[in-house]
Structure 1
Amino acid sequence: MTPALDVPPGLRGVVVADTGIGDVLGAEGTYHYRGRSAVDLARTHSFDEAAALVLDGNLPDDLGAGLRAELAVHRSLPPAVSAVLPQVAGAGARFDALAGLRAALCVLAEADGFEPTWGAAPARRRDDALRVVAVTPTVLAALWRRRQGLDPVAPRDDLHGGAAWLWALHGVEPDPVLAAAVERYLVLTIDHGFNASTFTARVAASAGTDVASAVVAAVGTFVGPLHGGAPDRALEALDEIGTADRIEPYVRAKLAAGDRVMGFGHAVYRTADPRAVMLREVAESIGGPLVELAARTQDRTEALLAEHRPGRELRVNVEFWAGVVMSLAGIPREMFTPTFAVSRVVGWCAHVLEQTRSSTIIRPSARYTGSTSAR
């Protein structure tokens, strides 16, 4: 029997698998998809192109048209899923689109006859992954519209990426500038190393479950407030601050109470979060009072954090500027984290497919700390 190893809390710094999908270089403040800078991709390529790179390993030479056509075939929902959406959207006092997505994916897997990845042909695994990627924005937008008392809108073949998402939500012709801003956000957030939800997806996939079940497991992790559920809370902090003269009192009060300043600090980056740097650029290219307040808040908060914790880099993170960009684009706050999921589902599915190439189930050990009395 292999002896147990003591590892840091949260598996910090522990290598648990090999991956060719991407990497986060926290000390350098960069990250990439298959060797290509994610920030550069967001500047120069579409969401469909970046998704094709992450899923299939190569940047397509057809501007993503091939993957786009494949996804278009998979976007429509089976009757069983369409039937459950009104019930899920209307359930509960608080709207939770990602809870609805979990339910919808479970129904989808049954309706479409998803197979366990263990023993399935690689082509079938990829087809199931594309199905999940394609239906995720359809489901999420339909859930939100149902909650508003609106009928879902049919996808348009001429709209893709950010424009397609804004159309699915609002059913009106999207502003090209705002659509481009959302597109950049989507590209930036496709993948980001072995974060909690991605690791969860791989654990599920290592057991040989179907693609939809692995993604459901990832979504369940993703909604945690310490992971994907932070962009709306960062924007709520800006609401509470309200005006530039309140920035310093607000931050000093948080620090004195030992509370976290939402939108600042990251588990990996020890320099500026490159996603936040780019999204600030995107926001400032649009402009407006919210952007001005956010920029002042970032600059003053970082200075106060450096004063409060000298020697420790606590910089703005992606959630801070993601909330600003999505707000500018007219995305409702309850759909901030679901928008994040529209892009991250590509990364989850890529990792699920990669994990299925291994026959080893992920099975770590735990240190028992309970009673030692005989039973």
Structure 2
Amino acid sequence: MFQKGLKGIVAVQTSISSVEGEKGELRYRGILVSEVIEGKSFEQAAYFLWHGHYASKEELASLTERLNAYRQLSDYLMAIARTLPKETSLMDGIRTLISAYQHAEFKELAIQQQAIALTAALPVMTALLYRLNTGQEFVAPRSDLGHTANYLWMINGQVPTHAQTEALETYLNLTMEHGMNASTFASRVTISTESDLSAAIVSALGTMKGPLHGGAPSGVLELLDEIQSPEKIKPVVERKLARGEKIMGFGHRVYRTEDPRSILLREKCRQLQQDGPWLNLAVIAENEITQLLNERKPGRALHTNVEFYAAAIMRSIQMPPELFTPTFSIARIVGWTAHAIEQQQDNVIFRPQSEYIGN
């Protein structure tokens, strides 16, 4: 039976996550994502996705030590980054560096250790390329900062506030994994050929680069930029609806109720809104826009998706738009690697059929 885009076709059995669109539930390893990430750092959430249980004190210390060690990029990778043309996009540059991350020591590691190495290296590569593209000196990683805080440090050259780190870490933890999305499927297809983990991540990054997958928060940012203040919410949105424009950040292809990630990000914005006017604007805007959509499109039940509050958080921590998709990738690499490991454990190469419709 032909299904365009494989919609509704089950191609994988997984114990990593589940997405229940009708219920509005996202589960990591069978547990609601809200429970998994509550009070957890990036390192703790990543360990849970990779291993299926929470890290002990010793296991967390070991993971943190290895992540810190793999933050150091080799001289040849630094040289490649500096050789790339300035007009190279961040996603293209990152793919190049991940593809080149194939030194002898890395190849000898078990795939679980390779996953840690690539997860640690990706934020460093992203910050390096961003700083080079904007004419700034590279800011070396710090071993005394956690994964999320270190990423912000390398981008801005300033130690982030607790609120900034907490806001971004919530976003990263919520977007680590989301079922059989396009980039995750691409990574599993690649690893199913018995290729290497770096190649699987390059495939995922190439898929994530597409605007239908990894670029959505930019549209929300443009909406918030146009609104600017609470009193302009209604006229801006009514004008867009009158022109038949889509209101970015509302509606989701999978969830038929509220996106659970949006609910948790909204709560984080409410907790931190005194630390950033953009977070406050997003909370107010959601309420008014939802009311307007219910009036204009009754029965559609259009709720905010994860991109809506992701854009508000990115703006609040002064993250430039060109870093949105790379930052999404910094979170999702945990899911990509978890799926690659799972695929290896019971591998069959993906080989779907095609239906010829030519003459």
Tell me how far 1:324 sits from its aligned partner.
Answer: 0.8
Distance 1:114-1:342 versus aligned 2 partners, 3 A rule: same
| 1:1-375 aligned within 5 A | 5-7=1-3, 9-62=4-57, 64-88=60-84, 90-92=85-87, 96-109=89-102, 111-112=103-104, 124-287=110-273, 288-370=276-358, 372=359
Instruction: Tell me if the contact between 2:42 and 2:169 (Cα under 8 Å) persists in the aligned partners.
Output: yes
Give the Cα separation in 2 of the matches to 1:306 and 1:20: 37
Tell me how far 1:296 sits from its aligned partner.
Answer: 2.8
Which deviates more, 143-152 or 192-201?
A: 143-152
Q: Secondary structure at the match of 1:24?
A: strand
Structure 2: runs of 5 or more not aligned: none
**Alignment-mate amino acid for residue 164 of structure 1:** N
Give the Cα separation in 2 of the matches to 1:132 and 1:144: 18
**Alignment-mate amino acid for residue 91 of structure 1:** K
Give the Cα separation in 1 of the matches to 2:179 and 2:234: 34
Give the Cα separation in 2 of the matches to 1:10 and 1:241: 36
Which deviates more, 315-324 or 127-136?
A: 127-136
Distance 1:129-1:10 versus aligned 2 partners, 3 A rule: same
Which deviates more, 278-287 or 13-22?
A: 278-287
Q: Secondary structure at the match of 1:64?
A: helix
Structure 1: runs of 5 or more not aligned: 116-120
Which deviates more, 357-366 or 218-227?
A: 357-366
Tell me how far 1:260 sits from its aligned partner.
Answer: 2.3
Tell me how far 1:175 sits from its aligned partner.
Answer: 0.8
TM-score scaled by structure 2? 0.92
Over aligned residue pairs, what C-alpha RMSD do you find? 2.0
Residue-pair matches, total? 356
Which deviates more, 323-332 or 240-249?
A: 240-249
**Alignment-mate amino acid for residue 161 of structure 2:** D
**Alignment-mate amino acid for residue 177 of structure 1:** A
Give the Cα separation in 2 of the matches to 1:264 and 1:50: 27
Instruction: Tell me if the contact between 2:81 and 2:93 (Cα under 8 Å) persists in the aligned partners.
Output: yes
Which deviates more, 258-267 or 43-52?
A: 258-267
Instruction: Tell me if the contact between 2:184 and 2:204 (Cα under 8 Å) persists in the aligned partners.
Output: yes
Instruction: Tell me if the contact between 2:22 and 2:255 (Cα under 8 Å) persists in the aligned partners.
Output: yes
Instruction: Tell me if the contact between 1:114 and 1:211 (Cα under 8 Å) persists in the aligned partners.
Output: no
Tell me how far 1:338 sits from its aligned partner.
Answer: 1.4
Distance 1:313-1:12 versus aligned 2 partners, 3 A rule: farther
Give the Cα separation in 2 of the matches to 1:114 and 1:74: 10
- Identity across matched positions, percent: 39
Give the Cα separation in 2 of the matches to 1:194 and 1:269: 14
Q: Secondary structure at the match of 2:135?
A: coil
Which residue of 2 is the match for residue 118 of structure 1? none
TM-score scaled by structure 1? 0.89
Tell me how far 1:298 sits from its aligned partner.
Answer: 1.5
**Alignment-mate amino acid for residue 102 of structure 1:** R
Tell me how far 1:72 sits from its aligned partner.
Answer: 2.0
Distance 1:67-1:113 versus aligned 2 partners, 3 A rule: closer
Give the Cα separation in 2 of the matches to 1:309 and 1:13: 26
Q: Secondary structure at the match of 1:71?
A: helix
Give the Cα separation in 2 of the matches to 1:357 and 1:242: 50
Tell me how far 1:257 sits from its aligned partner.
Answer: 4.0
Q: Secondary structure at the match of 1:135?
A: helix
Give the Cα separation in 2 of the matches to 1:215 and 1:322: 23
Distance 1:181-1:364 versus aligned 2 partners, 3 A rule: same
Residues 53-75 of structure 1, C-alpha deviations (whole Å, 9 max, x = no match) = 11122211117222111222222
Instruction: Tell me if the contact between 1:282 and 1:325 (Cα under 8 Å) persists in the aligned partners.
Output: no
Instruction: Tell me if the contact between 1:80 and 1:107 (Cα under 8 Å) persists in the aligned partners.
Output: no
Give the Cα separation in 2 of the matches to 1:65 and 1:271: 39
Give the Cα separation in 2 of the matches to 1:46 and 1:267: 29
Q: Secondary structure at the match of 2:212?
A: coil
